Structure 1
Amino acid sequence: MNPVGLGFDLVDLERFRLLYGDSDPDTLCRVFTPHELEVTAAGADRWHRLAARWAVKEAVLKVLGGMQDGMSWTDIELRTAPDGSPSVKLHRGASAKAQSLGITSWLVSISHTDNTVGAVTIGAST
């Protein structure tokens, strides 16, 4: 595996809640995939889990060179493997951009505190 790029993002949970906490469902649907909204729908830690997904999206975008024409937030999806590890699934424009960069796999690390969520992503080629 050869690293192509590294991305990092840190989300302040209070600010994230202020931005999205009172959003109508359509706003969240423009940012998060149906799967992401489904797995974060309930629980006291919902905003931590949504913020983690946001941090991963931002970190992936940094590897891809930023948001570009033909890309949307829902093109980047955080999934959870059966063993609990995070993984990235790309769709549409983000997938095409990753392919053009030679990225064939992603490494993801997420960390939480009471007030912040951080994510690191590495796009790699084989």
Structure 2
Amino acid sequence: MPVIGLGIDVVDIERFVASLDRTPGLRERLFTPAEAALHPASLAARFAAKEAMAKALGAPGGLAWHDAEVFSEPSGRPYFELRDSVRARADDLGVGSIHLSLSHDAGIASAVVVLES
């Protein structure tokens, strides 16, 4: 299966948490209720994942933050559930498989997204 999109993003966790604290409503704008309940490092990693997804999709306008939700399997393996605007863009590109890797260490959260046909 050919790769049709690749995205990576890194987030300084402390700076990200400060942004959430000083900007009312930002947490709700960026995250679904299930995501918003997570601890700061996981939130930063999920933000990085959403940014990486947007980059992998070619960073088109009109993508909604809640339309790419990150979940974890019981094993801890992360995965996306796509809806509406993000699903439509993925379908337009012919995305068949999505690979997601998250990490957070030493104050940095990172995510890599690979899209395959």
Corresponding residue to 2:89 among 51, 74, 97 = 97
**RMSD between aligned alpha carbons?**
1.3
For 2:104 and 2:43, the matched residues in 1 are separated by 12
Sequence identity (%) = 38
Whether the aligned pair in 1 keeps the contact of 2:31 and 2:65 (CA below 8 Å) is: yes
Aligned length: 117
Output the TM-score relative to the length of structure 2.
Answer: 0.92
Q: Equivalent residue for 1:27?
A: 26
Deviation readout 1:21-52 (Å, 9 max, x if unpaired)? 2443x3211110122124x1xxxxx1101001
* Unaligned stretches of 5+ residues in structure 2: none
Output the TM-score relative to the length of structure 1.
Answer: 0.86
Runs of 4 or more consecutive aligned structure 1 residues displaced over 4 Å after TM superposition: none
1:15 CA displacement: 1.2
Corresponding residue to 1:66 among 51, 56, 59 = 59
Corresponding residue to 1:53 among 46, 50, 55 = 46
Q: Equivalent residue for 1:17?
A: 17
**Aligned amino acid, residue 84 of structure 1:** G
**Aligned amino acid, residue 80 of structure 1:** S
**Aligned amino acid, residue 120 of structure 1:** V
SS at match of 2:75: coil
